[in-house]
Amino acid sequence: MKKVVLQKLLMSGVAAIFVLFFLSTFSFAKELDDVKASIKAEGHKWVAGDTSVSRLSEEHKKLRAGLLMPKLTGKEKHAAVVSSWTQPCLDWRNSLCSNPDGAIRVTPMRDQGNCGSCWAFATTGALESYILRKGSGAPPCDSSSNCNLSEQMLVSCSGAGSCNGGYMTGASDYIRSTGLVKEGCFPYAATNLACSLLCNAPVFKIGGWSYVTTTKPSAQAIKNALAYGPLPTSMTVFSDFYYYKEGVYKRIKKSKYKGNHAVLIVGYDDANQCFIVKNSWGTDWGESGYFRIAYSEMSYFGWYTMLYQ
Amino acid sequence: MSYLTHLYHGFNLMSAKVKLILLTFLIFCVVVPFCPESASSGEKMCPNNEIIVNKDLSGQKIIIQPGAIIQIELPFIGGAGYNWHIDNLNAEYLELISEHTEKISEEGMVGAPVLGVWRFKAKKAGETEIKMDQYRPWEGIKKATDHFILRVIIK
């Protein structure tokens, strides 16, 4: 018995020494330089942005977490979408190429600020596009540049989340059952305001929503659904994504987990084998706030993609 | 209950020397996590080899020994593009030995905060500080939304 106890103590000590040794030998390099070198080495076709301040930090992080996603009940509606759009490119911004409406169906870029409200921006963006597509939007949604609905209403009133994150399913249910007012009625403040600040105004709703993809997204399913309008979806953010400036993003292998995120897919481009996506980080990031991501990146992009109908 | 009985019998079978080692180890485990505050200066006196520091300790001073580890844990919303950046670290006194991000939110949420964990090793005696700022890399420190500073005395 005595021997066993002593052996266990000895083994614990050895294990502790091994862990400390491992941690102390871990070496780190500057992240942006690393990102640029990795893009080159891995033959990716995107450009990482250079900022002097980003050079100040050491950015190698240890991955410990994975993608956070909604639990499925089995009762969710799934859309079996057949697309009549056969072109190799579709862009609801009507910029890179056209779309079934031949008009702009995406509203201007937004900035969520330092608030975990991406879920509200992705779903509100999808609602704005839905209203524009229907063509029956009362002001301000009678034009894409003016159509601006209240993300703050989702953050403060829906119960689907807050600045500490939220659920796109809850937000979409709320948009269907209650709807959202225009931005001016409850302006975005990037903080958890009381719902009592909401004014009394007409609301904009969707008829319903369904999943296009869940845990095993396919690029083809998303492309088919895109013929019906922009699609809110989720993705994992890795450290190299912060430095994206332009091009078709592919995650570099040693980039590290930084959180999960909701965005709005607004098109695709077969020539470059990528989706066109609206982010909510303002116009200074990426391609005026948008990014393009390769079809090959579906292991962390395109999960739980939704279609508003 | 039977597990406790086994433990009790096992303990009785040990020699006095082993019991002493085990008790010392247990006392060490209980005492180590605490950093008593000095009554005179308000400094955190940390006789242990590792201290975990969170945002509440920003602006404070800690005293550690050479070779000790400081683990700083700060939340941030990575999904909004924000991250903590080390903007002042004197490599003469402190070495960053690891850095990683942990998930802290419940399953199913998107956009939730994550926890950044940085581990530093005290290299030699002296006074220094760790300064960190939270900002989006493409916006820079001028648009920092939060700050963290820890004064470190190594002796």
User: What confidence score (pLDDT) does residue A139 get?
Assistant: 85
Q: How many CB atoms lie within 10 A of CB A94?
A: 17
Please identify every stretch of chain B with a pLDDT value under 50, giving residue numbers as ranges.
1-2, 4, 27-34, 36, 38-40
DSSP A225: H
Give the A window 117-136 contacts with B, CB below 8 Å.
117-119
Q: At what angle do helices B16-31 and A2-24 cross, to 10 degrees?
A: 40
pLDDT of A85 reads: 86
Dihedral over alpha carbons A192, A110, A122, A166 (to 10 degrees): -20
Active-site residue, from A44, A99, A115, A118: A118
Q: Which two tokens stand for residue A275?
A: 């989706």
Chain A segment 18-57 residues within 8 A of B by beta carbon are 23-24, 26, 28, 32, 49, 51-54, 56-57
- Angle, CA of B114, B115 and B118, to the nearest 5°: 145
Q: Quick one: pLDDT at residue B108?
A: 77
| Minimal Cβ distance to B138: which of A2, A49, A70 | A49
CA B142 from chain center: how many Å? 27
> pLDDT tens-digit profile of B89-127?
999 999 999 999 998 887 778 999 999 999 999 999 999
50-79 in A: which are within 8 Å (CB) of B?
A: 51-54, 56-66, 68-71
Q: Which of B80, B71, B77 is nearest to B99 (CA)?
A: B71
What pLDDT does B31 receive?
A: 39
pLDDT in tens, chain A (309 residues): 455 555 666 565 555 444 333 333 333 336 778 888 889 889 898 999 854 333 433 332 222 223 345 666 766 777 767 677 889 999 999 999 999 999 999 999 999 999 999 999 999 999 999 999 998 667 888 899 999 999 999 999 999 999 999 999 999 999 999 999 999 999 999 999 999 999 999 999 999 999 999 999 999 999 999 999 999 999 999 999 999 999 999 999 999 999 999 999 999 999 999 999 999 999 999 999 999 999 999 999 999 999 999
**CA B133 to CA B143: how far, in whole Å?**
10
Give me the pLDDT at residue B47, please.
57
Contact at CB, A260 and B79, closer than 8 angstroms: yes
Quick one: tokens of A103? 């008009």
Question: What is the C-alpha to C-alpha distance for residues A66 and A163, in angstroms, rounded to an integer?
Answer: 20
